[in-house]
Homo-oligomer: A and B are copies of this chain.
Amino acid sequence: MIEGVLVDLSGVLYVGEEEIPGAHEALARLRNSGLPVRFVTNTSRSTTKAILRKLKSFGFDIEEKELFTAPHVVTAFLRKHALRPFLLIHPGLVPEFADFPTDDPNAVVLGDAGENFSYHNLNRAFHLLLEKKALLISMGDNRYFMEREGLSLDIGPFMKALEYAADIKALVLGKPSADFFTAAVNDLGCLAGRTVMVGDDVLSDVGGALHAGLQGILVKTGKYREGDEKKLRNLDFHVVEDIGEAVTLILESLSRERPKHPKTEE
């Protein structure tokens, strides 16, 4: 039984500047079903505004309130705890953090910093973690992501590097954190067990969702690589070609349910 859907963005709807074939049509079918949808992403190379602009340029009609991003969860956490971040993030995300004090930092915030993951910057973060006991906050723990040119190192490897160097554990505030999925599910107004997550990252999207009590569908687009599904042994989830097949699967499960729960609006 499915009452709500979470959809990952990069690798599911698009890769780089290219729409994934059929994504537009699939999303339209999902919208027509009336199921509530949230778009959940660890993408941390651009602001919420820039993500919405990009989605609009693809013709995906997605509202700001439907978007759940790791950076958004991080800024809310920093505000709640009045933290002063040292930002190891992508230049494209900097405007999102314009309001925070950055002197005498007591938190290290890791985004997908790309070229900003320099030895110099990592060393600075390491000193804050080791000597100032700063909190390490990470917008996910993804290993890599798909760009037009191929796979690129994501935030996770650099999080692991700093964890090892300072002998600490990071607080992961994006996927696969159960808190992140729970917040999105609560926003949908659904039960976790009746919500399905559609993503291309077997561990962060599907594994994280299952761990938080959701259902999961792995798509074979984006960063998916042959055999990825074997990384989650003994867990129950679906593997499909792409977002189109994922939506078909979701809608089929609805039609199987409908005879039992006829609705007047049909």
The chain A residues found within 8 Å of chain B, CB to CB, are 113-120, 122-123, 126-127, 130, 143-144, 150-153, 156-158, 160-167
Contact = CB atoms under 8 A, between A and B. Distances in A.
A163 B160 CA distance: 9
A120 B149 CA distance: 13
B164 A150 contact: no
A157 B165 CA distance: 6
A114 B118 contact: no
22 contacts: A115-B118, A116-B119, A117-B118, A117-B119, A122-B153, A122-B157, A123-B152, A123-B153, A127-B150, A130-B144, A143-B164, A143-B165, A143-B166, A143-B167, A153-B161, A156-B164, A157-B160, A157-B164, A157-B165, A158-B161, A160-B161, A161-B161
Contacts of A164: 143, 156-157, 160
Interface of A is mostly: helix
A122 B130 CA distance: 24
B151 A130 contact: yes
Contacts of A120: 115
Nearest to A114: B119
Contact of A161 (B114, B115, B150, B157): B157
A150 B126 CA distance: 11
Given A115-B119, A119-B114, A156 B151 contact: no
A122 B160 CA distance: 14
Contact of A127 (B114, B122, B127, B151): B151
Given A118-B115, A119-B114, A119-B117, A162 B157 contact: yes
Contacts of A114: 119
Nearest 4 CB-CB pairs, A to B? A157-B161, A161-B161, A157-B165, A160-B164
A84 to B, nearest CB: 21
Contacts of A161: 153, 157-158, 160-161
Contacts of A143: 164-167
A70 to B, nearest CB: 18
A117 B123 CA distance: 11
